[in-house]
Structure 1
Amino acid sequence: MVRFKNRYFLCEIISDDSRFQQCLDERAVHNTVKNVIARMHGDFGLACCSIAFSVKYLNAYTGIVLLCCRKDFHRLLWSSLPFITYLESRNQRYPCSFNTLHVGATIRTCQKFLIHYNSNQLLALLRNCTSEADRQAIQESVQSCMFVEEEQFHSKDEESDDSMQMA
Structure 2
Amino acid sequence: MVRFKNRYFLCEIISEDPRCRQFIEERTVHNTVKNVVAKMYGDFGLACCSIAFTVKYLNAYTGIVLLCCRKDFYRLLWSSLPFITHLENRNQSCPCSFNTLRVGATIRSCQKFLIQYNRDQLLLLLRSCTNEADREAIQKSLQSCALVGEQPTESKDEEDSDGSTETA
TM-score range, shorter chain: over 0.9
What amino acid maps onto 2:151 in structure 1? H
Alpha-carbon deviation of 1:18?
3.6
State the partner residue of 2:105.
Answer: 105
State the partner residue of 2:95.
Answer: 95
State the partner residue of 1:6.
Answer: 6
State the partner residue of 2:64.
Answer: 64
Distance 2:35 2:115 in 1: 30
Pair 1:137–1:32, CA change in 2 (3 A):
same
Aligned counterparts, 1:139-158, within 5 A: 139-147=139-147, 149-150=148-149, 153-155=150-152, 157=153
Say whether residues 1:123 and 2:123 are aligned partners: yes
TM-score, with length taken from structure 1: 0.92
Give percent identity, aligned residues only.
Answer: 73
What amino acid maps onto 1:29 in structure 2? V
State the partner residue of 2:132.
Answer: 132
Q: Which has the larger radius of gyration?
A: 2
**As a proportion of its length, which structure holds more helix?**
1
5+ residue gaps in structure 2? 160-164
State the partner residue of 1:161.
Answer: 155
Aligned to 2:11, the other structure's residue is in SS state strand
Alpha-carbon deviation of 1:164?
6.1
Cα deviations by residue, 1:40-70 (Å, 9 ceiling, x for unpaired): 1111000000000000000000000000000
What amino acid maps onto 1:112 in structure 2? K
Say whether residues 1:30 and 2:24 are aligned partners: no
Q: After TM superposition, what 4+ stretches of structure 1 lie above 2 angstroms from structure 2?
A: 161-167
Cα deviations by residue, 1:60-107 (Å, 9 ceiling, x for unpaired): 000000000000000000000000000011111110000000000000
Distance 1:80 1:90 in 2: 24
Aligned to 1:19, the other structure's residue is in SS state helix
TM-score, with length taken from structure 2: 0.92
Alpha-carbon deviation of 1:161?
2.4
5+ residue gaps in structure 1? none
Count of aligned residue pairs for this structure pair:
161
